[in-house]
Chain A
Amino acid sequence: MGKKFICAISTDEVAPGGMKTVELEGREIVICNCGGTYYAIQRRCGHMNAPLEMGTLDGKYVTCGMHCAQFHVTTGQALSGPVPVDLGNETVPPKVAAMLQNVAVQMQHVRMESIRTYETKVEAGWVHVAT
């Protein structure tokens, strides 16, 4: 059985270097315009599920806006984990500090996964995604 492509967006909906989210058959997908070539990736970051379209796309690398985890949009491969946060000399109320510490402990056990990619094709000015 051949792949089923679904018409997602028109090519002019995303400028080069831009990303746009669509929902196709219940799947959240981000379409990335990498200099005129379109790639489709899962919307959720492989680190903590943050929406990747709120991050940045540079070349073929997408960086999550939440913890700066990076992925390759053509393969979905996880390239780097989260960047550690440091509050520097900021004083934090004890309750907030305790909460942050709890988050930090749990974050150590968060596993970084590669993200899913979807095949795309452009036809008559429309980007189609194979789901």
Chain B
Amino acid sequence: MKTEPRKKALRYFFEKVVGPMGFKFTPNVELKDFLLEQEVMLEAKHGIPFCPCQPIRHDRSRDMQIVCPCIPFHRKHFDAIKRCWCGLFVHKDVINPDSLPQLPPKDVGLG
């Protein structure tokens, strides 16, 4: 399977999901393309487009929480850092995604 058409399909499906949650794709086009490419490769391997920046533990209940877009499972954390963990999605008001550090939950008071 070619990656480009699948990337396009994922963009279409993800946009519909993250939009109502107040998120959008990162304006960093290069990063967006790179992360989607990784997801397509993960999907080809595992059958599921996992987040490319989180480990697959082979524990289904935990792994399901890192299926992109994983925003609903980490809502408080991602709302606090205004981006998702890998940075594929950012809050709709974000113009400069490079200004958003990748802070773990404990650094934003979430334990």
Contacts of A86 in B (CB 8 A): 60
Do B60 and A61 touch (CB < 8 A)? Answer: no
Q: Which of B9, B46, B60 contacts A70 (CB 8 A)?
A: B9
Determine whether A15 belongs to the interface, using a CB cutoff of 8 Å to chain B.
no
Q: A86-B60, A88-B60 are in contact. Are A81 and B9 (CB under 8 A)?
A: no
B32 within 8 A of A: no
Count residues on chain A whose CB falls below 8 Å from chain B CBs. 17
CB distance from A66 to the nearest CB of B (A): 14
Chain B proximity mask over A74-89: 1 for CB below 8 Å, otherwise 0:
0101111111101010
* Contact with A79, one of B9, B60, B61 (Cβ below 8 angstroms): B9
What bracket does the count of chain B residues touching chain A fall in? 10 to 19
Known A58-B13, A59-B12, A61-B12: A80·B6 in contact at CB below 8 Å: yes
> Taking chain A's interface residues, is the majority helix, strand, or loop, or is none over half, making it mixed?
loop
* Interface contact A83-B12, CB-CB below 8 Å: no
Given contacts A61-B12, A79-B6, 15 further A-B contacts (CB under 8 A): A58-B12, A59-B12, A61-B13, A72-B5, A77-B2, A79-B1, A79-B9, A80-B1, A80-B6, A80-B9, A81-B1, A81-B47, A84-B47, A86-B60, A88-B60
